[in-house]
């Protein structure tokens, strides 16, 4: 096999591999890129997008046996609530606190229930058993913005962001190498890439106060 044929064979092999990785990474990251692009716009205009918070408050009183369970808890510190109490609260005020740490003091037990697109908290008076639960929802745009930032989204969403970011990196790098392969037939390739690099750099230098 001649050297020219060998080079052509090698080129065909790498083009095939790059196209394979490029379309697979594109398929994996397509919906994520669409989501993060849209929420990038909504985050950039967060002050102009009005959201009317919806606040729902619920109250209840613990039965005597659960008040006794609270009395056996720590005087202060952080510890999850007893499972029996967690199940009761889920039914009484509609809040899922499984796996959440509660802040214990001699007067009350407080559970912060931070969530994407809103907030929530739960407070229990240790003496009387009075329960107060408040949940705030700020709408779909706020939810999507918090998903974009990974705010209060938990480990599963954090893993999704990492995997999506890795797929996007593969998509971008394989795309850049494919541009190199096809640049000879497309004279505008590198001027456009250079413009894509220069634009944010110039904007940062001229208009962003560092």
Give pLDDT, residue 199.
94
Dist CA 25 CA 179 (whole Å): 16
Give pLDDT, residue 2.
67
Q: What is the pLDDT of residues 48-104, one digit of tens each?
A: 888 789 999 999 999 999 999 898 889 899 999 999 999 999 999 998 888 899 999
Pull the structure tokens for residue 6: 């060998």
Q: Which long-range contacts (CB under 8 A, 24 or more apart) does 65-71 make?
A: 66/129, 67/126, 67/128, 67/129, 70/109, 70/124, 70/126, 70/129, 71/126
Regions of the chain where pLDDT drops below 50: none
Give pLDDT, residue 127.
93
Dist CA 110 CA 103 (whole Å): 5
- Output DSSP code: residue 82: P
A 10 A CB-CB count for 102 gives 23
Dist CA 168 CA 1 (whole Å): 38
A 10 A CB-CB count for 93 gives 19
Owner of token pair 């998509």: 171
A 10 A CB-CB count for 115 gives 16
């Amino acid at each position: 096999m001649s050297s020219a044929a060998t080079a052509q064979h090698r080129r065909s092999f790498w083009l095939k591999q790059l196209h394979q990785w490029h379309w697979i990474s594109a398929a994996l990251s397509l919906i994520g890129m669409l989501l993060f692009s849209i929420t990038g716009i909504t985050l950039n205009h967060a002050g102009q997008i009005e959201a009317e918070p919806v606040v729902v408050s619920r109250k209840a009183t613990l039965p005597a046996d659960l008040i006794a369970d609270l009395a056996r808890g720590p005087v202060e510190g952080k510890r999850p609530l007893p499972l029996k109490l967690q199940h009761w609260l889920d039914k009484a005020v509609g809040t899922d606190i499984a796996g959440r740490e509660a802040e214990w003091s001699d007067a009350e037990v407080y559970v912060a229930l931070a969530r994407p697109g809103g907030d929530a908290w739960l407070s229990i008076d240790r003496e009387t058993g009075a329960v107060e639960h408040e949940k705030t929802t700020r709408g779909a745009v706020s939810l999507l913005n918090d998903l974009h930032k990974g705010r209060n989204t938990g480990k599963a969403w954090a893993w999704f962001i990492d995997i999506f970011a890795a797929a996007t990196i593969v998509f971008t790098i394989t795309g850049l190498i494919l541009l190199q392969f096809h640049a000879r037939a497309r004279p505008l390739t590198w001027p456009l890439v250079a413009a894509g690099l220069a634009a944010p750099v110039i904007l940062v230098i001229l208009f962003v106060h560092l």
